Amino acid sequence: MTTPDTSLDHAASRHARQLDELAVNRLLDALWRQYPQWPSTFGPCANQCGSGLAGRGSGPCRTCIEHELATHTGESHAKEYHAAIQRVRAAEDAIFHRINPNHNKL
């Protein structure tokens, strides 16, 4: 009787985790990009989700990115991360506005 080659199973499992980690990293970056510090271009959501939100560079909107992130991390983690980005950008805006009251005004 032969035993299954668990080293192949382990390698496949490790590869799947690496792909998932890469997907999560890309989604985290994409979510940050929805909150640029400086003026940027936005257009209709690439997913045509109907949220009414625009995506940076006409890519997916922040709601679509958050939903996709939730498929990897769970809804509560995705929402928590999204809210943290919003808090950081608000704090940055307050700091820059303190230095220059016309900060981020076109």
Examine residue 30 and state whether it is found in any structural domain, yes or no. Answer: yes
Q: What global pTM score does this model have?
A: 0.79
**Residues with Cβ < 8 Å from 76, sequence gap 6 or more?**
none
Over residues 2-30, the pLDDT tens digits come to 555 567 677 777 767 887 899 999 999 99
What does the pLDDT look like over 27-60, one tens digit per residue?
999 999 999 988 899 999 999 999 999 999 999 9
Name the E strands within the chain. 42-44, 54-56
> How many domains does the chain divide into?
1
Element (H, E) at 80: helix 75-99
The answer to whether position 89 is within a domain reads yes
Q: Is residue 105 part of a domain?
A: no
**Model confidence pLDDT, tens digit, residues 61-104:** 999 999 999 999 999 999 999 999 999 999 998 998 899 888 66
